[in-house]
Structure 1
């Protein structure tokens, strides 16, 4: 991450700390502290607040305007002990105080138990603050936080969490498929006076972002969706650069105290002058440091990586394999730019954040994508580079339809069912088995290993491509066979082996070490090879629970793991 802590070393700082009063509030370590204050400063004023930890480490975040004369600042403490905060600028005389960061009471929440998510030192995957590997298994709910009722959103999150998902991708401002939120509100307006934030829009959104973290899921908001018609609405990603930076910085100030994975932009082609534009916007938003990971969401089969890979604010490389199903698309997924360039420096986690959506019409055949075609793209994506994670999407849920409809401005995607029907797609249950498999292996040690194969059937038919990965220690290998059959290895690999059924999660043990393995049938299978060590534990995840209506979100009140003052 591009975050470099500093320390207070001056006598003045020492005197300020020594004179501060007792802490007014407590907040769990890795929870969220919020302080509310009033000031006559205009909405466009930047008010920076510096937080000083128990060891003297400091971090500065922006406060945000919340309507009228109300301002707030949110912060996530990463260490136990006494924290102090002090504003700069016009609020310096009135905004200061202390709070105590205490051990988290909710051991079930992974972020409170292990800490915030960051990129690993190897640059290949995510880890929590305590070093625990974090596997990104995202779900696509682009319109969810904008259009869902609070009860439905809560029920959806609990269902996905029970299935083993670890994060939710959603759009944080109106875009081409939702011009307003469910209350008819817009996030901002533009005019002669520039960009004007609408706090009421974000006050509603607060409860939805809170709920994602409360469910133990990483929130992945898209800040500035770029594709859209400016004649229909002021497209966030097409705003003048200064306004785009202002809007994105507002979102970062408002949700930077949450557990997040920032998608700075969505559905953009980051090439040529567009790459330069987003380079400037990225630096304007995240150039001063950021603890949470940042990425960009591109258009389908667009490889923007080389133009922006070295940007210090760009922590994760996301790509979209899209919704095609022809031979060229299949080759792009398993043998295209991600497979060819993952090892280029600096190494970043690579994630397919938009493989084909289940039941979405394929671009070429015009047939709906099935659980199989989605599953195939997902496993290929996990083996074409060091696995960091992948995102699933279901047609009807991503657009949050409440009745059968073609999603707005997506005429070629096909008729979509209501979100609650899409929630039960077969492919989403298959993601439970992705989570189950990853919970039993050291997935973060795997690297692509096509040299493990003596023969690659995908050379003649891209639909038969066998994905393969192995650890540097050669004590674990994982292969994906999309149409069953036999696989011949270039050498004997592992002393124990089993076939993993990606449809049921069942295991079929294989006796003895060999170089040729034959799948149980002609469906897709995964072959897990181990170098003699027994399988690691890992309890099977429960399947998705049926919806029960969901309890209303606790709008306006602190969640169990956050504190507010003011």
Structure 2
């Protein structure tokens, strides 16, 4: 028996001669009552073909395989799907205009971080350190790349070959993908989403993976989706800084996103991430297009999340807002205080913000590049922010009963509130010292809250009277 939103796997034996990646196709049609879901299979070496499926309903499922290859065609079977296990809330989906929820209805707010190539190091101890750091952190999403950059010489690549001259982009490195899916599984057990970056512009022609033909792009996407889409914690980012890739146009990215939507049987969350010349221009994608599920944005001004939410009916995730660190690049030398401020500005505006870290003196290297250990000042403050949001109503971005007002670097002596005729509770939150100080009493009408220092936020909660199951009237905020 497989659990709901788990992975059911079919293993078949077929041809191994020639190039099975290009020469052989196999699919399975999974059926539940009168509903069919078609899933691509993939070659896994040694004449083995696998088809992975993530069922979203409990009960009896059946399948049959379809392939032009005789050995792979016409296999049938059935299996039972039971309840989701502990910690399994299903995949994350969009909820309403600007929020996320797990498939079982549980809350999910995105607190992301960036570790582009943490699975490419070849150092298993280092990868375990990364996982341990994530387990202790507030982060529940990791942006990570599949393809290498120009300067990388990893032990394993997504394609067969170890040099630019020998790389065969029609054959996949099975050891690489086996290792990658193991790490995706590790993230899933930690409750961390794997935001897989499928393309990027950083190869600059060296490995030949950022300027492949449209046919090779689709060949690569189809294999990745067939192999990885069944993992419930997978998100897709079709490209990082798409506009820095001069081999592709916006129309090309549109086509790839549309193709990705068509071949993914689960319609996992999918987006595309813009580049920007810091403080000079931005080229944010048109997220009104139906093949994106959320807005993945690079920008330094988190307060603009409110504008982006109003512009498109998609959650706003500012995946790159600058990084805490001390490297000599404008994007990589934010103080921990400034990174914390940007998180608060973004969340108070109804968006979600991504973290990154790149300190020169980190003995484990730059976190954004290879993971390791977090040494910055912002993660514990982001954890504090997460605790504040966890206490908020599920619809905290769009309810009159709850407000977060963030002042950041500003130092007003006081702040005026218009609260109407109902009682409210007010808290002063020190976002840097991580303290919550209630303003005594209940408040209505026009009131004044003293402030007088930086990095403060106000939490304003309307007091409601509700009748519980015993018919007693209780007050809730």
Q: Does 1:351 align with 2:317?
A: yes
Which residue in 2 is equivalent to 1:326?
Answer: none
Aligned with 1:379: secondary structure? helix
Matches within 5 A, 1:370-409: 370-384=335-349, 386-387=350-351, 389-395=352-358, 403=364
Distance 1:132 1:341, change over 3 A: same
Which residue in 2 is equivalent to 1:65?
Answer: 43
Q: Does 1:480 align with 2:402?
A: no
Shift of 1:420: 4.1
Check the 8 A contact 2:201/2:241 in 1, yes or no.
yes
**C-alpha separation in 2, matches of 1:516 and 1:363:** 42
Which residue in 2 is equivalent to 1:456?
Answer: none
Check the 8 A contact 2:302/2:343 in 1, yes or no.
no
Q: Over residues 33-61 of structure 1, what are the superposed CA-to-partner deviations in whole Å (9 max), with x where a residue is unaligned?
A: 122212127212332221112x3322111
**C-alpha separation in 1, matches of 2:362 and 2:49:** 35
**C-alpha separation in 2, matches of 1:277 and 1:233:** 20
Which residue in 1 is equivalent to 2:60?
Answer: 82
Check the 8 A contact 1:303/1:319 in 2, yes or no.
no
Which residue in 2 is equivalent to 1:413?
Answer: none
Distance 1:238 1:64, change over 3 A: same
Shift of 1:501: 2.4
Distance 1:294 1:177, change over 3 A: farther
**C-alpha separation in 1, matches of 2:376 and 2:307:** 32
Which residue in 2 is equivalent to 1:313?
Answer: 291
Of structures 1 and 2, the one scoring higher in RCO (CA 8 A, sep 6+) is 1
**C-alpha separation in 1, matches of 2:245 and 2:364:** 38
Matches within 5 A, 1:237-276: 237-258=210-231, 259-269=233-243, 274-276=249-251
State the superposition RMSD in angstroms. 3.1
Q: Over residues 231-265 of structure 1, what are the superposed CA-to-partner deviations in whole Å (9 max), with x where a residue is unaligned?
A: x2223x43222211211221111111112111111
Q: Does 1:127 align with 2:127?
A: no
Matches within 5 A, 1:104-253: 104-105=84-85, 107=86, 109=87, 112=88, 114-120=89-95, 122-147=96-121, 149-176=123-150, 178-180=152-154, 183-188=155-160, 195-230=170-205, 232-235=206-209, 237-253=210-226
Shift of 1:287: 2.6
Q: Over residues 49-99 of structure 1, what are the superposed CA-to-partner deviations in whole Å (9 max), with x where a residue is unaligned?
A: 21112x332211111111242211111111111211222123553543222
Distance 1:379 1:130, change over 3 A: same
1:517 equivalent among 446, 449, 452: 449
Distance 1:148 1:119, change over 3 A: farther
Matches within 5 A, 1:463-542: 471=399, 474-483=400-409, 484-489=411-416, 491-492=418-419, 495-511=424-440, 512-513=442-443, 514-519=446-451, 521-533=452-464
TM-score (norm 1): 0.72
Check the 8 A contact 2:221/2:260 in 1, yes or no.
yes
Check the 8 A contact 1:49/1:60 in 2, yes or no.
yes
Distance 1:256 1:489, change over 3 A: same
**C-alpha separation in 1, matches of 2:322 and 2:418:** 34
Check the 8 A contact 2:116/2:368 in 1, yes or no.
no
Aligned with 1:170: secondary structure? strand
Distance 1:478 1:406, change over 3 A: closer
Distance 1:535 1:263, change over 3 A: farther
**C-alpha separation in 2, matches of 1:33 and 1:216:** 20
Shift of 1:306: 5.4
Aligned with 1:136: secondary structure? coil
Higher strand share: 2
**C-alpha separation in 2, matches of 1:74 and 1:81:** 18
Q: Over residues 15-40 of structure 1, what are the superposed CA-to-partner deviations in whole Å (9 max), with x where a residue is unaligned?
A: xxxxxxxxxxx111111112221212
Check the 8 A contact 2:39/2:226 in 1, yes or no.
yes
Shift of 1:186: 4.5
Distance 1:195 1:313, change over 3 A: same
**C-alpha separation in 1, matches of 2:169 and 2:320:** 33
Shift of 1:487: 5.0
TM-score (norm 2): 0.84
